[in-house]
Structure 1
């Protein structure tokens, strides 16, 4: 129907599923500047373990590459690069700027560009003026909703917001033609800034809700109350919102609040609440660390096993992992500390000396669970780990 050659810029957690989805319908170019990432994907290996080898066989003569000149024939660009922060918590726009710079050297009039990365309201328009003002191109924003480790809410079946500026009917038809091949459920917004705002508040809301449960967990510990029982009772009220406590890491929740905070501050509003979740969730790392050290001293622990190092359950990634921070701190003590995470990717296992298999759990004086991987339920129930002196799991992994 249309002569469309899509390109996905950035093949990480967001870009790879987007590329694989499009590649089923069109010849698609998957571009990433990371040579190693490109090579592993060409070898049918996703180090994030989100996709199996069989998922990575390409269709429609599609291509995975790090060569910029491969983008010259493309006419529909989808940007899925990370949006991190600097050490001072200011937005780090270098990946986005780099992606736009690469596209600007290959783009033609009437080409279409969509950003999927999490940004602050107004950034899509800023990028258009900065990189594409000399071209007659069309830009839009469709916030990514990829949830790593989640096999239920996939790109195919989630609700996808698609926002774009005023454009000719033919351009609108092309946009919807592409995005309806990506997701079954499309919501159209005529405001790019509203869509940008909606994405960033999704993540801030979750960060704050988890932080509230983390704070209640810490208060229950101080009051010698059973947190699980407290929540069980609270859930009997019909409108109680149930969230689980836990370490909050990764590349979304710990980062996105600072994007909105920064733009609000630059517009003269000193946000008082949106960073509250960041303070509490970061505090949990040290709270848990102190709890573990107290248990070690009380029970004269000599050999310790830390289970679950990835930044969240059922995910192979250890980037921005608070559990990894705890492990590093405990390794500085005089305790014999080992770590076990069968989900973590092999590169991280090797880099941080983390075991993928444990044959004998009985040799450890204390086993600490930091992340609730599904596989732990099977492993620990099989070994009947219920001795409170031997097993420490603040998040109730065995429930």
Structure 2
């Protein structure tokens, strides 16, 4: 087989993700990392202690492929308590190594070469990678900017994406990177679309607890015709500030969950047993902690938004998650990619161009994603640094005094 001599041995269709590159850049330069979405403070102390106790009490061998029964039961209680959705923990809930594994295993299980997956654009990069691994093709439907204040999904664009090879829709709500929370009217339209076109919905709900200003998270599985065709995916990382634990799960009808399980066994087989026990406790006992954390995040969001706006970067306020979009067009003539490339050296900050999540730059060319899940002192310092990037005011024409 001929190989391009300029291409490293082993290089394939995938390269290092932008998250990995920017995190490494932040570590190397000491920049404030507002690019990657992880908090810099730990979650509930009681949950951390439970994990420690499980580690030292001998719970360190393989858990069952489907996950610890106690965690599956806790997930079932959470879905029933919050959304009125009943799932059998025996065969309708699967514990995974984070939400990314659940989504990837679902795509690999349910799609084959030539099949098509509809993805809302911008999209978390793992969705597209999963479809590529399956030999499928993404049909990306853009979220449109709504007068600069938010984002909307055009139902006609969604319908135009359907072909005879369409198998899945991947939907993320609350949405990363835009912070959009799809409301009941929008989700009802998406549900009718899935039913009409006989599509399976894989719904990424990892930010389900992190919604603000009266917005509410509605799982698409709760809508008519969707329970039997939806895999709902979530995880502990974003909810309980334990992103490094990589404990997630998917819920759905037994046949779909069985398909995901059949792939998962050849990926990771199982996730860390001590952490599963701790997550089960968190789901049952820590909703008050999550409520306080959500309110704290809302304050951090507002702090960063006000600071960026004052520094000349208008913000699109997110309804959920922990990222906000800032428009750099008033501050620089460069696009967001160039702006973010120069930002570590110019201001000691790492942020992400939103076009990193897009197939086509379009209306996102000037948008930058900033994470606000960091300590308040770091956010305040970041705002100060961005303020130093303001365009200098144009020189004032000299005034010639009229001779008298």
Q: TM-score range by the shorter chain?
A: 0.3 to 0.5
Q: TM-score, normalized by length of structure 1?
A: 0.36
